[in-house]
Structure 1
Amino acid sequence: MPTATFSIEDVDFLAKALLWADSYDSACLLHSNEFADPYANVQSILAVGVKQEIVADGTNTFGKIEAFKAKHHDEWMFGFFGYDLKNELEELHTTLPDELAFPEAYFFTPEILLRFQDRKVTIDAPVAMDVPSIYESICDIVLSFDGSTLDRPFQKRMSKTAYLESFQQLKQHIQRGDIYEVNLCQEFYQEDCAIHPPSAYWKLNSVSPTPFSTFFKFQDHYILSASPERFIAKRGTTLLSQPIKGTAKRGNTEQEDLEIIQRLQSDPKEMAENVMIVDLVRNDLTRSAKAGSVAAERQPQVHTFRQVHQLVSTITCEIDPNVTDLDAIKRVFPAGSMTGAPKVSAMALCDRYEKSKRGVYAGAVGYFSPDGNFDFNVVIRTLLYNRTKQYLSFHTGGAITIDAEAENEYAECLLKANGILIALDTQLEN
């Protein structure tokens, strides 16, 4: 495969590359926004065009992706796992409405790969393609982002009254001992909505730059994500997960920010949420780990983003050499930060009290690389779009524990929606 590296002199080159990529049936941009990350493998990477692909049909999904990966082990693979693959892994069933109609999972090996590092781009392309001409054709694109502003508010799939009722029902399950934490999510949506997905993504990324930002296109389906959370990654023989649990708004001044961070770090409810999820993820990772190798940071770290402060924990282990990559992912899927604990009981209750299928939301997007590493985010702070149906949607959620208060948790859901609403210059219906 021909490869060439070019210095990036055009400050808009990545934006132009995104517009260029949107002309293909499948494309994936994983964009770190240059956040400092000791586990980062690449700053940003853009996969374009399809050599081979696999679309989940709802049976033995992880096994089929495992076989697909084995055939293409020396190539990059990009794709997503939908949250409702949980139904294949556990005795669960989802009958909630699904207007977005994404497949449960999808992966592809790209025709063209652009890797961005330190103001340079390395382009890999098929033998039949002229690599310099790809670079030049991107440079020649006239940058025009339009179509990310909406003329009406998002509708609520779950009214505030319905949310508060579901909250109280779930609180009763906690008081009875059925569960001790659950992540209740709600959908906001627009029908007959025409947007230009690259424009919407670029605006979202400018409003909410995050380390796991993603633009993913599969035919007429789009994932436009400002995710701050790593689900699971592999670096050599090390597996790691970095769940987020604990959220606070940004302050108006540096001093106010510091005070909010201190309150977040000392808030018993937020810390209890984090500890519960760390325990859950630690237990999940144990199923793929060498004995005694699972380790967690004692104190979650505060990560500050444009819209919010978050409590982030890091759990690592050494992978058992007999465990495959897909097995390791399957054994922790879906992300514990988006379910609750005990995990299966919490997921069953989410299906019972939520009003729409999560689909890709709360699933994972990422890559497998030829060197044996992989990295997947948690699909949160994300717009999902079906261009054919002109259906646009996003979810937000928050953890309910024994000490949670309904009004506070509802306010946290709205806080998490801010980045998307600002990016699209709209609001939620009353």
Structure 2
Amino acid sequence: MRTKAIFDISDPLLFKQQLLSWASSCEELVWLDSNKYPDKYQQYDAILAINAFTAIKTDTVEAFDKLKEYQQTTADWIFGYLSYDLKNDTEKLTSKNHDSLKFPELYFFQPQKLFLLKENKLEVQYLRMVDDEIDFDFTEINEIVIAEKVPEIQQKTISIQSRLSKEDYLYKVTEMLQHIHRGDIYEANFCQEFYAENIVLNPFHIFTELNEISNPPFASFLKLEDYYAMCASPERYIQKKGDTIISQPIKGTAARNTDPKIDVDNAQNLSEDIKERSENIMIADLVRNDLSKIAKKGSVKVERLCEVHSFKQVHQLISTISAELREEFAAVEVLKSTFPMGSMTGAPKISAMQIIEDLEETKRGLYSGAIGYFTPEADFDFNVVIRSILYNEDRKYASFSVGGAITAQSNPESEYEECMVKASAMRQVLGKFSD
């Protein structure tokens, strides 16, 4: 049983900064922040889970079955991630590409301490609490002084390298288009990695800056042992609340502009762009198909199709698909039936994943996987790990990847430019240390 307490928060924005700063040295930590983005499906403004009471860490072999057993055995809050390469557990696929990050394929933990922030109310839940520990921690958090600006990190210059040259990227996209023209696939998400070796980062400061310049609705900071994710994701993968399932795939991107008129035009042009809309509609249809495997008959609905959402860096097309879960399916089976998310694979899904594996240079790992949580009631909410910097502290290796949907209408040069737009926030954060 968890000991619970409720506190009134006078300045939620300041308190969020204090709370994350207070927790930043913990061995296990998951921080989820909506950045107050308007979202009627959002349960909390921010969540912090720290200090593992129990944990599960595994490779792809029977990973979802192991997670199902762990989730049902704990019957508690658990937090963690699913790597993209869990596709090898759901289908007869492999992952043989280069991997310098070396993250486990799946990692979840049951937190000893949990903080749930909604508007000006903070709910605190502790396992195995000592006397007055909640009150003591709450006082300590409120006494933290937040600097007005994140301090500069004093270290040697970081050299950011690309796993693919521009020429190689254009060649591989052309190969992808050949698959499409032959009818092997209709659409596939093709990604490329940028990386830095032999570096020492302060992940907390990196995340703070990345979140500041992006302000996305599904930001997350994850620390599990030496594995870090600094994630500024705008995309929800999937949410379960009771019997209702919601998925919100993103496909379709346009750059923001400092000129308000041009910016409005960019958003309007995106909403009317045939190529961008076709990307989104194909993936929305794929998600509908995935959800139909576990949904009550006739319950899968497209709530919103190709709706423009504007973020600090880009405009995006987002569709919202809902379904009612059939009683015989457990929570983890929803993930197993829909993973990896359609927005990061393509259509048909299995063929797209096979071609992606052949053409990409890097094992995706946590990139284009998901970070999120389960509640004691077996509800869950997971983001899509994009617009993220991943870091293995032990190996001193940092990585971020970007990609886009390739369809019959794709122009390789335009796809490359879209990747650079998506990479801008990560470059801006790490670029201050680059040559």
Tell me the equivalent position of 1:355: 361
Return 134-143 or 370-379, whichever deviates more.
134-143
SS at match of 2:80: strand
Structure 1: how far apart are the matches of 2:187 and 2:312?
A: 27
Cα 1:365–1:298 shift into 2, 3 Å: closer
Structure 1 stretch 144-153 or stretch 249-258: which is displaced more? 144-153
Secondary structure at 1:30's aligned position in 2? strand
Matches within 5 A, 1:19-30: 19-30=21-32
1:203 counterpart residue number: 209
CA gap of 1:318–1:428, structure 2 versus 1, over 3 A, is farther
Q: Is residue 2:425 matched to residue 1:422?
A: no
Which AA in structure 1 matches 2:99?
Answer: D
Residue 402 of structure 2 corresponds to residue 396 of structure 1: yes
Residue 68 of structure 2 corresponds to residue 66 of structure 1: yes
> How many percent of aligned residue pairs carry the same amino acid?
43
> Contact 1:156–1:428 (CA<8 Å) still a contact in 2?
no
- Aligned partner letter, 2:229: I
For residues 299 and 258 of structure 2, the distance between their equivalents in structure 1, rounded to whole angstroms, comes to: 42
CA RMSD, Structure 1 to Structure 2 (Å)? 1.7
Shift of 1:189: 0.4
What is the rounded CA distance, in whole Å, between the counterparts of 1:162 and 1:152 in structure 2? 24
Aligned to 1:53: 55
SS of residue in 2 equivalent to 1:279: helix
Deviates more, 1:61-70 or 1:248-257: 248-257
1:149 Cα deviation (Å)? Answer: 7.9
Task: Note the C-alpha offset of 1:62.
Answer: 0.5
Alpha-carbon distance change, 6 to 335 in structure 1, aligned in 2, over 3 angstroms: same
The question of whether the paired residues in 2 share the 8 Å contact of 1:148 and 1:424 is answered with no
User: How far apart are 1:9 and its partner, in Å?
Assistant: 4.2
Distance apart, 1:314 and its partner CA? 0.5
- Tell whether 2:143 aligns with 1:137: no
Structure 1 gap segments, 5+ residues each: none
CA displacement at 1:300 relative to structure 2: 1.6
Deviates more, 1:296-305 or 1:182-191: 296-305
Say if 2:120 is the partner of 1:119: yes
Aligned equivalents of 2:307 and 2:69: distance in 1?
Answer: 38
Partner of 2:85: 84
Q: 2-side partners of 1:147 and 1:330: how far apart? A: 42
2:418, 2:433 → 1: CA distance?
A: 15
Identify the residue that residue 325 of structure 2 maps to in structure 1. Answer: 319
> What SS class does the counterpart of residue 299 from structure 1 fall into?
strand
Residue range with higher mean Cα deviation, 204-213 or 145-154: 145-154
Q: Report the Cα distance in structure 2 between the residues aligned to 1:282 and 1:426, rounded to whole angstroms.
A: 42
Q: Quote the residue 1:186 is aligned against.
A: 192
2-structure distance, mates of 1:324, 1:309: 35
2:343 aligned counterpart, secondary structure = helix
Distance 1:216 1:318 in 2: 30
Alpha-carbon separation, structure 1, partners of 2:381 and 2:269: 32
Displacement, 1:8?
3.0
Please report how far the alpha carbon of residue 140 of structure 1 lies from its aligned counterpart in structure 2 after TM superposition.
3.0
Q: Label 1:148 to 1:351 Cα distance change in 2 as closer, same or farther (>3 A).
A: farther
CA contact (8 A) 2:223 2:229 kept: yes
Q: Which residue identity is paired with 2:193?
A: E
SS in 1 for 2:257: coil
- Native 8 Å contact 2:281 2:305 kept in 1: no
Deviation, 1:115, is 1.1
List per-residue Cα deviations over 1:72-117 (Å, max 9, x = no partner). Answer: 11x2110100000101111111111111111000111100011112
Contact 2:210 2:426 in 1 (8 A): yes
> What's the counterpart of residue 95 of structure 1?
96
Gaps of 5+ in 2: none
Deviation at 1:6, TM superposition (A): 2.5
Shift of 1:2: 2.7
Q: CA deviation at 1:148?
A: 5.5
**Deviates further, 372-381 or 16-25:** 16-25
Provide the C-alpha distance between the structure 1 equivalents of 2:415 and 2:236, rounded to a whole number of angstroms: 23
Q: Which amino acid aligns with 2:36?
A: E
CA contact (8 A) 1:149 1:425 kept: no
Q: Aligned residue pairs: how many?
A: 428
Match of 2:350 among 321, 344, 350: 344
Query: Post-superposition shift, 1:252?
Result: 1.9
Query: Separation in 1 of the partners of 2:226 and 2:142?
Result: 26
Give the CA deviation at 1:124: 1.7
